[in-house]
């Protein structure tokens, strides 16, 4: 049996940068540390940081109760008003927002101030998208599929600016842009899906296309991992979404000639290696 592991699997630049910084703070800081939401969507990492004293705020309401210390803005980013609230409370802010997300903030702030309606291709409930919305002067429109886009186009718009959540499905974004092109909007369309996401999705699709079984590793709340699962499932019906080795059942890949493995941007290399090792050991046992 062949085992193929995606080269792009695991922490992306933005996530690694954020996680490394919070671990550094946990080791060096002499004051309380909290993060606005989990620093990444991976329970293993978040639990380890909590053991080191890093508190996770479940919502902005809890920020009101913070009296002192360091507030970490995670890689997903936040809206402008959150920065203002942290400053007003006199708290120290450590901003580890992904640079690709920060770029989108600057785009929508500029274009919305010039009167363009902002259209975000993404998941409206995801913290990254909520943060992007928080930089739009007149609010924003969020769509994740054709139905949502048709609803947007059914309303009056003249000038629009289109961006995408950094982890949005690249193929879906292309499809939505093609539909938009049929309308005579004065439009600015920017593909803001990060390069790492595109490469990860394309590699996962290619591996899944030649695999009997595909394993996608990542946290259940991880948007980019969910997108990987959707893409792989289209190519390989025997695609399984697992969080850690505990979720892996050898029956998933018994009698398979090729098993593919990929992982979301919030998945530590340790977990990927554990899964890979388990599958390889199973191969030796079978032989």
Distances in whole angstroms, Cα of residue 183 to Cα of each of 158, 159, 275:
10, 11, 47
Q: Which of 31, 38, 86, 37 is closest to 53 using CA atoms? A: 31
Q: Which of 228, 193, 232 is closest to 209 using CA atoms? A: 232
Which residues, 6 or more positions from 69, have their beta carbon under 8 angstroms from its beta carbon? 31, 32, 33, 34, 91, 92
Q: Which residues are catalytic?
A: 128
Q: Which of 18, 54, 95 is closest to 265 using CA atoms? A: 18
Helix (H, G, I), strand (E, B) or coil at 194: coil
Cα separation, 227 vs 222, in Å, equals 9
* Cβ atoms 72, 64 nearer than 8 A: no
């Amino acid at each position: 049996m062949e085992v193929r592991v995606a080269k792009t699997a695991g922490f992306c630049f933005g996530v690694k940068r954020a996680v490394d910084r919070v671990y550094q703070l946990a080791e060096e800081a002499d004051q309380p540390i909290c993060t606005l939401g989990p620093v990444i969507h991976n329970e293993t990492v978040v639990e380890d940081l909590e053991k080191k004293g890093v508190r996770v705020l479940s919502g902005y309401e809890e920020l009101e109760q913070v009296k002192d210390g360091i507030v970490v803005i995670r890689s997903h980013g936040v809206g402008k008003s959150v920065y203002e609230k942290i400053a007003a409370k006199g708290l120290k802010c450590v901003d580890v927002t992904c640079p690709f997300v920060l770029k989108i903030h600057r785009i929508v702030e500029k274009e919305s101030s010039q009167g363009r309606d902002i259209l975000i291709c993404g998941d409206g409930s995801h913290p990254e998208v909520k943060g992007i919305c928080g930089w739009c002067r007149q609010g924003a429109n969020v769509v994740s599929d054709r139905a949502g886009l048709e609803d947007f186009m059914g309303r009056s718009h003249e000038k629009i600016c289109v961006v995408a959540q950094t982890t949005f499905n690249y193929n879906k974004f292309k499809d939505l842009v093609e539909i938009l092109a049929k309308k005579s909007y004065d439009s600015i369309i920017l593909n803001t899906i990060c390069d790492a996401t595109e490469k990860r999705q394309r590699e996962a699709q290619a591996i899944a296309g030649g695999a009997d079984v595909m394993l996608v590793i990542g946290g259940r709340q991880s948007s980019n991992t969910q997108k990987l699962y959707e893409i792989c499932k289209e190519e390989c019906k025997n695609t399984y979404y697992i969080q850690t080795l505990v979720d892996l059942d050898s029956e998933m890949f018994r009698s398979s000639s090729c098993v593919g493995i990929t992982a979301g941007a919030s998945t530590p290399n340790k977990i990927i290696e554990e899964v890979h090792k388990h599958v390889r050991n199973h191969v030796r046992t079978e032989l």
